[in-house]
Structure 1
Amino acid sequence: MSMHAYITGAYDTAVGELPGSSCMALHAEAAIGAIQDAGLSLNDIDGVLCAYSFTEPHLMLASVFCEYLGIHPGTCFAIQAGGASACIMIMQAAALVASGQCKHVLVVTGDNRLTGMSRDGAVAALAEVGHPQFERPFGISVPAAYALVAQRYMHEYGVTPEQLAAIAVEHRRHAGRHPKAHVRKPLTVEDVLASKPIAEPLRMLDCCLISDGGAALVVSSAEARHDCANKPVEILGAGQGHTHEHIVMAPSLVDFGCKASSAAAFARAGVSPRDIDVAQIYDSFTITLAVELESIGFFQCGEAGLAAAAGQLGLGGSLPCNTHGGLLSYGHSGAAGGMFHAVEAVHQLRGHAQDRQVPDARLAFVHGDGGILSAHCSLVLGA
């Protein structure tokens, strides 16, 4: 089964601390890189999808970007779904080309979250999280909300801090093989457990990075992919799942929308979790990845941390996961954080991942999570 849509271009900028960078400049670099990777020109792009920016917020960011780049596509809009934005944009781009409305859709993200925001500015932006009546007055924060999930999850399944720490350690091991990764210094379980407490039981090294960077893809129709220069990656299936926005309204603290989104993506692709060769799954915190790996069906409840400790998420494991280092070690730059996962999947399926290459990778799973495990989008990609 196919959605009749193909990723034909992929590019990610440098990631980390990039003094002098800006949201629009990172968007432009990523966009031009992806278009060149596809062997196309700016004039070939007839659709543009953007996400959001913290450093240059605008209600019509996609229009601002097109103005900045000097292009005039027939379709242009922005999607805001937090960390799920990148996957949702790819799903939307696939629908646009499959329906014949576009031939080549540029999907672009980027932000200078690290150098472009002061500490106070970052805190102010994050202060917008939470229900204004039932959560914000009590001092909710993003880490605190995920800590609630971690507390319940650990109580329910007997998961330990050491098991969550193993996830961070494996991600750092992956990042050590990626020349662009924001942080590559080796990490141990003891390092994670000794790091600064943030929100019990989460510690500093259980949390994702804050980075500058951008990433983009070109999604092309089945016919138009033949115009492109590089090996296309097929979008085989996609799905979404939405259960809540505010954590106080979540129907469960151990069962989330990723179960529905992944089930839809697998069904549309005609595959199952056991068929996946490599996975790139949103990892804003160690607990995020643990919950999602299990809800999606890669591991039984309570077993993801044990699997990480046993090396099952490594290159030689049963499910190589976040082979670039993920948000925990590769980098997290707003919506671009989720796009880094998709770009890495393309590298893997093209066989271009160098030292971190999964041998004979034919099927990749990509997942994005927005809010407090609120919005979910899953993709199945094929070489």
Structure 2
Amino acid sequence: MSARLRGRCAIAGIGNTRRWNAPGRSPFDQLQEAAVLALEDCGLGLRDVDGLYCAMSTSGLPVLNVAERLGIRPRQADGTMVGGASFLFHLQSAMAALETGLCDVALICYGSNQLTAGGKLASMPDPQPYEAPFAPRYPISSYALAAARHMHQYGTTREQLADVAVAARLWAQRNPDAYARGALTRDDVLASRMISDPLSKADCCLVTDGGAAVVLVSAERARDLRRQPVYVLGTGVAVSHRQISAMPDLAATGAVESGRRAYAMAGLSPRDIDHVMLYDAFTINTLLFLEDLGFCAKGEGGSFVASGAIAPGGSLAVNTNGGGLSCNHPGMYGLFTLLESVQQLRGEAGERQVPNARVSLAHANGGVLSSQATAILGTADTL
């Protein structure tokens, strides 16, 4: 049944504040600006929005707060909160709502001032009875545990993890909007301060402010709007655990399931993908998702990255904006993967543009490898 949704909806507009360090701007300021930019991008206005999808780590009632702030009264709304993957969960929910007539214009939006608010995640009220006694650093110690397991099980090295960060920086140097564009070598990553063994500071994503939004409409309506539509060919989501101590397999994520579902809806396979955006909160994420989404065999992510495959000029264009490691990471990064996918499929990515990109895969992660969501987007000639 899910295959019926293939290509039925399109991303018609995108908004990105590109304000990575914005003192005085609240999360709602960032969100509102991004929402207006996305609507202007496709020639619509706030009065047209009747479906609202949002999540914020700084708001317990994001839908209510955002609707009031934007001055809209949506007839369909979803505030699902599963961490950084929330917005790709929203994408799937919005697709179903558009298809069934529950709304006509869906706005998915996010804003954060994590950097200027002090650089820390919002409070985490969930109890951690099996982990709290060990005083872990949240969330890095959880990802460090997964990295250590991958290294033990498959022989992955810190050098290979470092190559993930270096590849992201090389892409960021082609993106004038990236927050971190300075030189970065494998030795630089290995020499950076250890935070939670085996992950160093350079294995960790940035801490920035930022706002992002996308406008989703039916494929039919999108063809009459201002910008080139980017069609949603497939989506898939998965939830596997909350805390890392409950993760079924530290070396395999729910991306196996979300990817399988997205590929099935799209009728495509990894070999059909021209461009990839992976939520790289930490360097180990990129390795895990490359494997679990089928771009290389399980356990071969380290050698795949070390070969130069995901860097500029490699065989697979990955995180071309610089990713969370070098472009931006305002607490919850998932929606920004969609923005870069859309820019690439529109042919608007400038120096980092992937030639002849027709199909892009965006993948988001939430919690501590807890929630996974995959979206496959395509140009008109993929329908």
- Length-normalised TM-score, structure 1: 0.94
State the one-letter code of the partner of 1:274: R
Distance 2:240 2:295 in 1: 21
Distance 2:149 2:376 in 1: 30
1:18 correspondence with 2:14: no
State the one-letter code of the partner of 1:45: V
Shift of 1:277: 0.1
The answer to whether the 8 Å contact 1:84/1:377 transfers is yes
The answer to whether the 8 Å contact 1:147/1:201 transfers is yes
Shift of 1:302: 2.7
Counterpart of 2:131 in structure 1 is 135
Counterpart of 1:60 in structure 2 is 61
Counterpart of 1:226 in structure 2 is 223
Alpha carbons of structure 1 residues 128 and 158: separation in structure 2 relative to 1, 3 Å: farther
Deviations 1:313-354 (A, max 9, x none): 12322210010011101111123x111111000000000001
Choose the corresponding residue for 1:382, options 357, 369, 378. 378
Counterpart of 1:269 in structure 2 is 266
Indicate the SS of the match to 1:317. coil
1:238 correspondence with 2:239: no
Choose 74-83 or 101-110, whichever is displaced more: 74-83
Shift of 1:127: 5.7
Shift of 1:3: 4.5
State the one-letter code of the partner of 1:110: G
Distance 2:246 2:198 in 1: 22
Distance 2:282 2:31 in 1: 25
Shift of 1:138: 1.6
State the one-letter code of the partner of 1:12: N
State the one-letter code of the partner of 2:293: I
1:186 correspondence with 2:183: yes
1:42 correspondence with 2:74: no
Counterpart of 2:330 in structure 1 is 333
Aligned length: 374
Counterpart of 2:206 in structure 1 is 209
Distance 1:195 1:280 in 2: 25
The answer to whether the 8 Å contact 2:38/2:215 transfers is yes
Shift of 1:298: 0.5
Counterpart of 1:8 in structure 2 is 12
Distance 1:241 1:132 in 2: 22
Deviations 1:156-211 (A, max 9, x none): 11111000000000001111111111111121000000000000000000000110
Choose the corresponding residue for 1:344, options 337, 340, 349. 340
Alpha carbons of structure 1 residues 63 and 127: separation in structure 2 relative to 1, 3 Å: closer
Counterpart of 2:152 in structure 1 is 155
The answer to whether the 8 Å contact 2:7/2:219 transfers is no
Counterpart of 2:85 in structure 1 is 84
State the one-letter code of the partner of 1:155: H
Choose 104-113 or 74-83, whichever is displaced more: 74-83
- Length-normalised TM-score, structure 2: 0.94
Distance 2:192 2:302 in 1: 18
Counterpart of 1:364 in structure 2 is 360
The answer to whether the 8 Å contact 1:277/1:361 transfers is yes
Identical-residue share of aligned pairs (%): 42
Distance 1:379 1:143 in 2: 26
Gaps of 5+ in 1: none
Distance 2:307 2:123 in 1: 35
The answer to whether the 8 Å contact 1:126/1:142 transfers is no
RMSD of aligned residue pairs (Cα, Å) = 1.4
